[in-house]
Amino acid sequence: MSIGERLYEHRKKHGFSQEEIADKLEVSRQTVSKWENNMTTPELSKAVELCKIYGTTVESLMRETDELKENFYNSNKLDGENNNQDMSNNSEANSKCSETIVHEHRYLKGSCQYTSKAKIGKIPLIHVNIGIFPDKKKGNGIAKGIIAIGNVSVGVISIGFLPIGLISIGLLALGILGAIGTVAVGLYSFGAVAFGMMSFGAISIGYMSVGAVAIGNYSIGAAAIANEIAVGAYASGMIAFGEEAVGTHVYIYDVNSGAEVLQAIKSHLPEMQSWIYKIFHMVLI
């Protein structure tokens, strides 16, 4: 059996198209086709990658193929002339080829990439794409997966400099449900600057906001500015409670005034959600 026939059988066995193999190896589909039709043979680095993808050995792919064997040793010789350390790395890679590899793991141009074989639909369970110089052939440096980690990441759980997802953690985090970051935007957000339905941060802006500077419909903070209830050292709102307070119903802080504020909340905002009332109850009592 020729090398081309082996490559074809391995590809079909693992359910890959020529385009998918070409994408993984960063070559053209025509190159993969030429390998499988015995028009050319893969160089050392591509042979190593192929054996990782197919869970086989370089020796198995080389069997009965003098041309590939010659290319293999010539490539090793060239690598040795250029860099002895590369020879050591190639030797280590060859030894690992006998293992069954169930994922793709590569380092490119100062970047790290990992794509798990496990998928939900067509989306990988885990995708990592981190680097100073992202590989444009892999989505311009964007990590996309159920769990996505990268400079820019999109997933159910996203981690990175700019993560976007259901739950996001990063420098500038955008999360539908939750976000944690230097700047965080989400239904529930935690950050130096936080925007959300319920936000916690040094600067917090949201429907219910808690922070050093808190701005929202309901606010708790050192400086609290609210449409309805503000509690803080400085408080401004319809119901304002603090050492300095400005509003329609003003309560200056003292030991017994918390209960009075809660009574005012019940009186002036009878339809307020119970979970918000419980938060103010914990703070004031």
| 221-240 confidence digits (pLDDT tens) | 999 999 999 999 999 999 99
Reported confidence tier of residue 166, pLDDT bands at 50, 70, 90: very high
**Rounded-to-integer distance, Cα 209 and Cα 213, Å:** 9
pLDDT of residue 149: 92
CA 74 to each of CA 50, 79, 83, 280: distance values in angstroms, whole numbers, following the listed order: 18, 8, 14, 75
CA 272 to each of CA 59, 188, 218, 222, 266: distance values in angstroms, whole numbers, following the listed order: 73, 19, 11, 23, 8
Reported confidence tier of residue 105, pLDDT bands at 50, 70, 90: very low
- Residue-wise pLDDT for 250-284, tens only, equals 998 875 678 888 888 989 998 888 999 999 989 88
Helix (H) or strand (E) holding 206: strand 142-252
Which is more confidently placed, 71 or 167?
167
Tokens of residue 142, six digits: 């964007």
pLDDT of residue 36: 87
pLDDT of residue 192: 96
pLDDT of residue 64: 46
pLDDT of residue 103: 38
pLDDT of residue 63: 60
